[in-house]
Chains A and B, each alone.
Chain A
Amino acid sequence: MAMTLITTNTSSDAATSDFTTGIDSTYKLYIFKFIDINPATNDKNFTFQVNATDDPGGDYDVSAITSTVFESEHYEDDSIARVRYEPNDDQAQGTAFQILAEGMGNGGDESLAGEMYLFNPSNTTYVKHFYATTNAYRHPDSSRQTFAAGYINDTTAIDDIRFQMSSGNFDGTIKMYGVG
């Protein structure tokens, strides 16, 4: 066993990128790779949420998340360079889509790349941990590296995951790997 590519979702002006098969007890670790993510609408956030097995076909709106987000950012005009905690992007038992990158640019050459680790989503004893690192070309012409992490506060198995913008469609490729 090693690192196995399970699914590749290619989005072209799509509202969501859903993975509704392939997340099960086969692997202890799932890795999602984000490549060339470009929103249709400027200044929107790249996000994710999940469905548990007790909410099959659900609307990705009931799983409580407690999370942290911090970022490192530098503007092209050199006016801002900083590292900071981002309290507007975290959640405290919230059920919203978790922000992985905030304020993305939608220019023709602007995009995001990154990866997210989701640990043992099929476990039925513990909460489900995740962490993600992205780097985005943001709308004010800056490079921002974002570190989002947390847990889905549910002991029910997770078998669906959705990625989407906070509004509007997007282009991009998301690959899901199983490790183990």
Chain B
Amino acid sequence: MGIPTLISTSTASDSSSIDITSGIDSTYDEYMFVFTDVNPVTDGAHFSFQVNADGQTGFNETVTSTYFKVYHVEDDTDANAGYDAGNDQAQGTAYQYLAASMGNGSDESGAGVLHLFNPSSTTYVKHFFSTAQYCHLSNYSINAFAAGYINTTSAIDEISFKMSSGNFDGVIQMYGIS
């Protein structure tokens, strides 16, 4: 990893989304989003992200992605790893799940890092990958790996994080990697 420079810190407190609408430009060819203490109001909600291309409206760019997870329940009755076809996208425009079916207990949370590469490129698609570690609603520890590309050659200059339903608490720090 290169040297990260903190660009912004966004804090959600019973918020519907964190939208980062400035600071994503050609200054860096990699951006890193560190999310900590993410806790949904709604049990089983999915923590997710989408982006908006320069000059466009709405967080609805086309995504093709993969999602696999490693899981282990606290009572030790279930543990394995596998691809999760319900959480990927094939040219979809929905918010991409980073952590699916999160627990909303008072001590339950999620954390992780999302990398977004060269969002200002106007030649290539935009790649991302994320590693999330979180509490599942059914007392599992989940290590989730989401990756893919935003299938546009337009520059990306905005990103949004939210739950699939309901509000959430959490902190997202955006870094530029040089």
Cβ B141 vs Cβ A68 within 8 A: yes
Cβ A68 vs Cβ B6 within 8 A: no
Cβ B135 vs Cβ A151 within 8 A: yes
| Count, A-B residue pairs, CB within 8 A | 108
> Which A122-180 residues have C-beta < 8 A from chain B?
123, 125-127, 129-131, 147, 149-151, 153, 155, 179-180
B1-40 vs A, Cβ < 8 Å mask (1 yes, 0 no):
1011110000000000000000000000000001011010
Cβ B70 vs Cβ A2 within 8 A: no
Q: What is the size category of the interface that chain A forms with chain B?
A: 20 to 34
Cβ B34 vs Cβ A179 within 8 A: yes
Q: Which of B37, B76, B81, B113 contacts A70 (CB 8 A)?
A: B81
Q: What is the size category of the interface that chain B forms with chain A?
A: 35 or more
C-alpha gap A140/B147 in the complex (Å): 33
Cβ A123 vs Cβ B37 within 8 A: yes
Q: A2-B5, A28-B171, A70-B81 given as contacts; is B108 within 8 A of A131 (CB)?
A: no
C-alpha gap A151/B38 in the complex (Å): 14
> Which B102-135 residues have C-beta < 8 A from chain A?
106-113, 131, 133-135
C-alpha gap A119/B74 in the complex (Å): 20
B76-99 vs A, Cβ < 8 Å mask (1 yes, 0 no):
100111000000000000000000
A contact residues around B135 at 8 Å (CB):
127, 151
Cβ A130 vs Cβ B72 within 8 A: no
Q: Pick from B6, B112, B133 the residue with the most CB of A within 10 Å.
A: B133
**Shortest Cβ distance from residue B170 to the other chain A in the assembled complex, whole angstroms:** 10
Cβ A131 vs Cβ B36 within 8 A: no
A1-15 vs B, Cβ < 8 Å mask (1 yes, 0 no):
111000000000000
**Shortest Cβ distance from residue B12 to the other chain A in the assembled complex, whole angstroms:** 14
C-alpha gap A90/B73 in the complex (Å): 11
B contact residues around A149 at 8 Å (CB):
70, 133, 141, 143
A contact residues around B112 at 8 Å (CB):
119, 129, 131
B contact residues around A93 at 8 Å (CB):
74-76
A66 at the interface (CB under 8 A from B): yes
Cβ B4 vs Cβ A131 within 8 A: no
**Shortest Cβ distance from residue B50 to the other chain A in the assembled complex, whole angstroms:** 23
Cβ B133 vs Cβ A151 within 8 A: yes
Q: Which of A3, A119, A126, A147 contacts B108 (CB 8 A)?
A: A126
Cβ A3 vs Cβ B80 within 8 A: no
A contact residues around B111 at 8 Å (CB):
119-120, 129
Q: Name the residue on B nearest A68 (C-beta).
A: B70
> Which A1-36 residues have C-beta < 8 A from chain B?
1-3, 28-29
A67 at the interface (CB under 8 A from B): yes
**Shortest Cβ distance from residue A90 to the other chain B in the assembled complex, whole angstroms:** 5
Q: Which 8 A-B pairs have the closest CB atoms?
A: A92-B76, A149-B143, A119-B111, A126-B109, A68-B70, A129-B133, A129-B111, A66-B141
Known: A2-B5, A119-B112. 20 other contacts (CB 8 A): A1-B6, A29-B36, A66-B140, A67-B72, A68-B142, A69-B70, A70-B70, A90-B72, A90-B79, A92-B72, A92-B74, A93-B75, A120-B37, A125-B109, A126-B37, A126-B39, A126-B108, A149-B143, A151-B141, A180-B34
A-B contact list, 11 entries, CB within 8 Å: A29-B36, A87-B79, A92-B75, A127-B108, A129-B133, A131-B133, A149-B70, A149-B141, A150-B72, A179-B4, A179-B34
